[in-house]
Structures are given as structure tokens and as C-alpha cells.
A and B are shown apart, each in its own frame.
Chain A
Amino acid sequence: MTDAPKNVVYCGVCTFPPEYCEFGASLPRCQKWLEANHPDLFTALYSVGGNVVAGEKGALDELDSDSKKLAKAIGKEEAKLKRVQEKKASTMIVIKRIERTKKKRVTSVLNLEVFDVELKKAAKQFASRFACGSSVSKNNQNLEEIVIQGDVSEEVKAYILQTWKTIPEKNIQLIEEKKKKKPEEEV
């Protein structure tokens, strides 16, 4: 027996030693990760009699009720992942320049949380980056948005692209909200 520390591989998806991935709902993704990153381990774990057990439900050794539950959990997890991805693809981050008075402008940022950004943290990052007030507040539709004191739309866009690399540029929209010019029409 050696005293040297053992080098243990941990799954890049669920963080468990790969031999325990089979107990989690992310099994299909775990298998893909292992095959790509540690093909030798993948073969050792998932091949039976020379045949690699196909991903998905194939890896569940016995179809007792536990495995069925797990299969169901995997299905749910996959569906959830798909929904999240679809939502990300279809959501626009809206950066709005808002005219509060003739001189005062603020910038609001909507929907960052869809891309797994923590709004409070992001507001702080904006504040220190642009040296101005920045906070999370609810807008009139009761949605959380970040409001930055100052006209920094372009800068915010650049900062978002640079900081959260998974956000595609096409999902960022700049718009402008002028003060209503003819309030009498609303009466």
C-alpha cells in the first residue's frame, strides 16, 4: 500500500466519483462527459461484456421500481434542461435608457437572471465598474430589474458580453424610453 495521495476523478456534471453517477438524475449527461473526458473510465464503468451500454435508460441494470423511478427522474431532468435552454434562447436582455428628467437618465437592465446571473451581485459589479449607484428593484410589472444611475447603456452591454461569456450578443437589446412628450393626449 502506498502513502501517496490518491488522485480521484470527479464527474464534471454531478461532482460525484463517476462510479456514483448512476444514482443521480443527470446520468445521461454524466456519461457523455465521462466519455469525452475520460474514455478509459467510461469503458470500465459502462461497458458490459465488451458492449458499451447505451446511455439513457440502458445503463439501468435492473428494471425494478427503483430504476423506473430513476428513469422518470432522468426524463424530468432532461425536459427541464431543455426548457431552460429554450427559455435562454428566446429571452432578450433589455437594456433601457430612461429619461427621468431633462438632465437625469438612468439605465435599466431586465432578464439577466434568465442567464443564471445573480442580480444583486451584478448590480454591485455595475456600481463598481461604472462608479455610480446601482440596485435591484421591482418595475411596474413586478419584475426584478437592475437600475443604474446614469446613462451607460452601451457600456453595460459591453460589460455583460465580457463578463458572462455564455450570453450571446443577439440576446441583448438596447432601447430608449423618452419622457412622454404629449401628456395631454392621455387625458
Chain B
Amino acid sequence: MFKKVHPKEDIASQSQVKSSVQRNIRTKLLDQMPELEKHLDELMPKKAALTVVKLREHISLVVVNGEVLFFNHFDEAYYPTLKLLHKYPALLPKLQVDRGAIRFVLSGANIMCPGLTSPGARMDVSLPEGRVVAIMAEGKEHALAVGITKMSTDDIRQVNKGHGVDTIHYLGDQLWKSLFE
């Protein structure tokens, strides 16, 4: 998603949102990531200004106190930034790719099923299609990407070919780089 769209250069509009909209965003985030409950007041204090930055191609960023925390596409699921996920690894269910897949993911490629079913890979959770996941890697402690399942984990195992997970945000993409500017 952030291979070409740049979070700072491709801004279409940005606005501080009303408290009703803010409540909606909070509800949606909690629905999707129940684990967030424990941290939400710390991450998004009710009094802090919440800005929604709209980018090209219908991407929106949720920004609190100048820090990008989440983003989504159209009105679909929210994804945490990798920096936020590194801080709170329990936010998302984890799928692990084998070592050989790492460099492909780091170049933004979607994840093929065999990269999730080989001996170095792990799928310890059972998930449906369309679930936001943390992409972990063999031998590594931290997530290298966030993605969304294109098949259920059962199908990934059984079919074992084609794209199992779409890579949405990865170490080194434009969003990641903008977090360090």
C-alpha cells in the first residue's frame, strides 16, 4: 500500500475530527483489536487531538499527537503501524514466514502459501480470510510486515499455492520511512 504513496507528500486533506467520529474510530479499533483495550487510553487519550490524514488512493492515517498509529483503506479494517505493533506485539495474531521469504516481503511482495507452510514457517492460529495479521519471520523477534489473509489458514495449508497473505505495510516502505523523519 505504501510502495508508492507517500504519507507526507501525497496528502489530500487532513482534519481534526469531531468527538463523535473519534468515538467511532475507537469503537472500530477495539472491535478489531480487543487487545487494544488495555492501551487505548494511553495511546489515544480522550482529550488528545485526533487527526485523520487522507492520502491518495483512499488511504487514511489516524494520527494522535503527531504520531501515525493506524491506517486503513476506504472504510475497511484498520492496521497498526509496524512501530506500534513492535511496541504492542499482542495487538495482532501472528503468522510466521520462513527465512527464505523475508527478502521478498521486504521488497513488498505478497506472501505465497509455501512461505507459510514450509518447515521454518509457523501458523499457530486458525484464522478466516480477511483477517489483519502480523507477519513474523523464522529466527526473528519482531514483525517485519502487517498483512491481511487472502485465504483462511486452513486453505493456506491445504491448497498451499498462490497468495496466502497480502503484504500491506512492511519495514522500509514509505510509511515506515516517514515514521523516522
Residues of A near any B CB (own CB < 8 A)? 1, 3, 5-8, 10, 14-17, 19-20, 23-24, 66
Contacts and interface: CB of A to CB of B under 8 A. Distances in A.
A96 B86 CA distance: 51
Q: Rank and list the top 8 A-B pairs by shortest CB-CB distance, nearest first.
A: A5-B87, A8-B86, A17-B142, A15-B180, A19-B140, A3-B38, A16-B171, A23-B103
Given A6-B87, A14-B172, 18 more contacts: A3-B38, A5-B39, A5-B88, A8-B83, A8-B142, A15-B172, A15-B180, A16-B172, A17-B86, A17-B141, A17-B142, A17-B171, A19-B140, A20-B102, A20-B106, A23-B106, A24-B172, A66-B103
Interface string B60-101: 000000000000000000000001001111100000000000
B2 interface: no
A15 B176 CA distance: 9
B89 A6 contact: yes
Interface in B125-181: 139-142, 144, 171-172, 176-177, 180
B86 A15 contact: no
A91 to B, nearest CB: 26
Contacts of B90: 1
A19 B88 contact: no
12 contacts: A5-B39, A6-B89, A8-B87, A15-B172, A15-B177, A17-B171, A19-B139, A19-B140, A19-B141, A23-B106, A24-B172, A66-B103
Nearest to A16: B171
Contact of B140 (A8, A15, A20, A24): A20
A137 to B, nearest CB: 24
B57 to A, nearest CB: 24
Nearest to B35: A3
Nearest to A7: B87
B168 to A, nearest CB: 18
A8 B89 CA distance: 11
Contacts of B140: 17, 19-20
A90 B86 CA distance: 43
A20 B88 contact: no
Nearest to B90: A1
A72 B171 CA distance: 22
